[in-house]
């Protein structure tokens, strides 16, 4: 058995996508997810893979981004889908070590399995506080015209400015990201969410937490009636406080490793959560 560890280049995407379609999840467009380009950043690779001869036998995807944090450009690497065939599992750690050997990155893992959490904790990853609330999406009556909610790209483009507009443009084509803008009283709030099983809106980004809470009734009504989503899941680190009509719970575990940033300086954008 001659197994080679190699970075995933553009020319490898088709083979890696076929591997993940066959061995991981056939419902995901892996060719797009593997080569997702979120923002204008040069990527060193799309992750790492194991090959036995010409056959792909294991992969660890990666998404890279550069973010402005406290006036300084920081580089991030989000570790995505980690899939290795059973006969090669003993070499799984080679993929992680190769990714972590890249210098000057902050690392996130936003959907770690129970088994990988132990490995990542040993590699000095910490857990985000994923305390969250589940908010029922109910068909409350609302005052017409008071709050405007739009998923129209033209409305979003014309409403957002600066960093929020850049976030929208970087994520507009991301496969799993859904975008809304809330407009009320001359102010706006940009919301990014993903659809989660069975019919949940999982909030990933809120630009104005105060307006989010003030517009919560029309927002949850919109998500129910327009999108068919029966509840909204939101972590408190994103929306800051629990709404009155909500139920506390913990969201899925998420992990990070950084030598200089605090958890509050790291978010869930430019990651697998917006792509898969």
CATH number at residue 44: 3.40.630.30
Domain of 239 in residue numbering reads as: 131-251
Element (H, E) at 192: strand 187-196
Same-domain pairing of 138 and 244: yes
Clarify whether residues 80 and 192 are in a common domain: no
Q: What is the pLDDT of residue 1?
A: 63
Q: What is the number of other CB atoms lying within 10 angstroms of the CB of residue 237?
A: 18
Tell me the C-alpha to C-alpha distance, in Å, between residue 136 and each of 18, 228, 243.
38, 12, 11
* 152 and 47 part of one domain: no
260 shares its domain with 226:
no
CB within 8 Å of 271: residues ≥ 6 apart: 63, 78, 80, 108, 110
243 and 149 co-located in one domain? yes
* DSSP per-residue letters across 135-187: EE-------TTTSEEE--HHHHHHH--HHHHHHHHHHTT-TT-EEEEEEETTE
Shared-domain flag, residues 85 and 181? no
Residues 154 and 116 in one domain: no
pTM of the entire structure?
A: 0.95
Say whether both 92 and 147 belong to one domain: no
152 with 165, same domain: the answer is yes
239-247 — which CB contacts under 8 Å span 24+ positions? 239/133, 239/203, 239/206, 239/209, 239/212, 239/213, 240/209, 241/209, 241/213, 242/133, 243/133, 243/135, 243/213, 243/216, 245/135, 245/136, 246/133, 246/134, 246/135, 247/133, 247/134
Query: What residues of the chain score a pLDDT lower than 50?
Result: none
- Residue 11 has what pLDDT? 96
How far is Cα 119 from Cα 69, in angstroms, rounded to an integer? 28
Domains of the chain: total:
2
Q: Does one domain contain both 264 and 229?
A: no
215 and 270 part of one domain: no
């Amino acid at each position: 058995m001659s197994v080679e560890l190699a970075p995933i280049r553009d020319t490898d995407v088709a083979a890696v996508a076929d591997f993940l379609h066959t061995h991981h999840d056939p419902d995901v467009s892996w060719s797009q997810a593997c080569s997702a380009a979120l923002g204008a950043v040069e990527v060193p690779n799309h992750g790492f893979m194991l090959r036995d001869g010409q056959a792909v036998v294991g992969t660890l995807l990666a998404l890279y981004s550069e973010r402005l944090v406290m006036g300084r450009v920081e580089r991030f690497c989000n570790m995505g889908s980690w899939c290795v065939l059973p006969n090669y599992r003993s070499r799984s750690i080679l993929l992680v070590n190769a990714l972590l050997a890249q210098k000057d990155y902050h690392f996130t893992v936003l959907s770690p399995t129970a088994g990988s959490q132990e490995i990542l904790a040993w590699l000095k990853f910490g857990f985000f506080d994923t305390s969250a609330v589940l908010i029922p999406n109910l068909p409350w009556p609302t005052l017409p015209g008071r709050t405007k909610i739009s998923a129209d790209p033209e409305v979003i483009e014309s409403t957002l400015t600066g960093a929020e507009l850049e976030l929208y443009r970087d994520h507009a084509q991301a496969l799993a990201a859904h975008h809304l803008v809330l407009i009320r009283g001359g102010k706006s709030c940009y919301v990014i969410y993903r659809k989660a099983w069975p019919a949940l809106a999982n909030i990933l980004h809120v630009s104005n937490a105060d307006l989010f809470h003030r517009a919560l009734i029309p927002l949850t009504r919109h998500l129910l009636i327009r999108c068919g989503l029966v509840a909204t899941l939101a972590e408190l680190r994103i929306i800051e406080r629990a709404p009155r009509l909500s139920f506390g719970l913990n969201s899925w575990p998420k992990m990070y490793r950084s030598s200089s940033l605090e958890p509050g300086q790291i978010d869930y954008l430019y990651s697998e959560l917006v792509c898969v």
